[in-house]
Amino acid sequence: MSALLHTGEVMHVRHSPFRHRFVYRMWMMSADLDELDSIEARLFGHNRMAPVALRDRDHGPRDGSALKPWAAQLLAAEGLEAFAAHIRLMVIPRVFGVGFNPIAFYFCTDAAGQLGAVIHQVKNTFGGQTTYTLPVGPGRTVFQQTEKGMHVSPFFDTQGGYRFAFSRPDFDDTAGRFALSIRYGAGGTPRMTAAMRLVARPFTDANLLRLMLEMPLMPMKVVAAIHWQALRLWLRGAKFHPSPPPPLQPTRDLA
> HSE (CB half, 13 Å, CA atoms) of 233?
25
Confidence of residue 253 (pLDDT cuts 50, 70, 90): very low
193-221 confidence digits (pLDDT tens): 999 999 999 999 999 999 999 998 888 88
Strands in 4-14's sheet, in edge-to-edge order, are 129-135, 115-123, 103-109, 86-91, 20-32, 4-14, 189-202, 177-186, 161-167, 141-147
pLDDT of residue 34: 96
Residue 125 has pLDDT above 50, yes or no: yes
Taking alpha carbons only, the member of 245, 59, 237 closest to residue 157 is: 245
Residue 246, phi then psi, degrees to nearest 5: -65, 160
> What are the residue ranges of helices labelled H in the chain?
67-77, 205-214, 218-235
CB 181 within 8 A of CB 164: yes
Residue 185 has pLDDT above 50, yes or no: yes
pLDDT of residue 79: 97
Extract the runs of DSSP E, i.e. beta strands, from the chain: 4-14, 20-32, 44-46, 52-54, 86-91, 94-95, 103-109, 115-123, 129-135, 141-147, 161-167, 177-186, 189-202
Q: pTM of the predicted model, to two decimals?
A: 0.90
The mean pLDDT of 11-15, rounded to a whole number, is: 94
pLDDT of residue 1: 60
pLDDT of residue 6: 97
57-98 confidence digits (pLDDT tens): 999 999 999 999 999 999 999 999 999 999 999 999 999 999
Confidence of residue 17 (pLDDT cuts 50, 70, 90): confident
The mean pLDDT of 222-243, rounded to a whole number, is: 82
Rounded Cα–Cα distance for residues 157 and 246 (Å): 13
Cα dist from 73 to 35, 80, 81, 92, 133, whole Å: 19, 9, 8, 23, 11
Residue 130 has pLDDT above 50, yes or no: yes
